[in-house]
Amino acid sequence: MYDVVTDSYCYEGTTILKNIPSIRNQAILDAFEAAMTAQRSDEPLPHGTLDAAHYCGIHRHIFQDVYEWAGTYRTVRISKDGSAFCYPEYIEQEMQKLFDSLKHENYLGDLSSDGFASKAAHFLSTLNAIHPFREGNGRTQTSFLLLLTDNAGHSLDLAKLAPGRFMKAMVASFEKDETQLESELMGLLG
């Protein structure tokens, strides 16, 4: 659960995110969200140019059945385990800067597996620190990473992903140590 002081995304007096079917029980919402996002994840992702707008479109696609705000940047400050993510007033400019850098680096194309893993780890680390959405950042990151990897001429085997270890690597990258995340990505490259 995220730490938020005042959260307009939640039903008053709760930590339950406002949702399209108006579910007010966290366990039922979790199950509904898992079912809907799994269904959308089986569909083709939206086409785009691997830019910030494309990234938002992917989030919108995955979460469109659950949250009205799917695909739009969050407007509240959030943190997790005491670590603050990018303040909402800076999200748009930080996303633009990150995706401009990705474009400048030719979307990580023409790199060896090692080079791709290193650059992709840095990209994911930065994207995670921005955390542009109120919910669903990790699933959107994974979907975008699949597109980015494919575009760069590599393949990613998510069946090899160890969620706990990958999360630990993401946390370490938030603390400026990207080596674990780079190693995890290397293990997923086919």
Cβ-Cβ contacts under 8 Å for 170 (sequence gap 6 or more)? 124, 125, 128, 138, 181
SS3 for 179? helix
Contact of 148 with 120, CB cutoff 8 Å:
yes
Per-residue pLDDT of the chain (190 residues; tens, 9 = 90+): 555 557 999 999 999 999 999 999 999 999 999 999 999 999 999 999 999 999 999 999 999 999 999 999 999 999 988 889 999 999 999 999 999 999 999 999 999 999 999 999 999 999 999 999 999 999 999 999 999 999 999 999 999 999 999 999 999 999 999 999 999 999 999 7
End-to-end CA distance of the chain: 33
| CA distance to 14, 53, 107, per residue, from 116 (Å) | 42, 23, 10
What's the predicted TM-score (pTM) here? Answer: 0.94
Q: Looking at residue 179, what is its pLDDT?
A: 97
Q: Looking at residue 190, what is its pLDDT?
A: 79
As to burial, measured by CB atoms within 10 angstroms (0-12 exposed, 13-18 middle, 19+ buried), residue 134 is: buried
List, in order of start, the domains of the chain with CATH numbers.
26-188 (1.10.3290.10)
- Strand partners for 84: 79
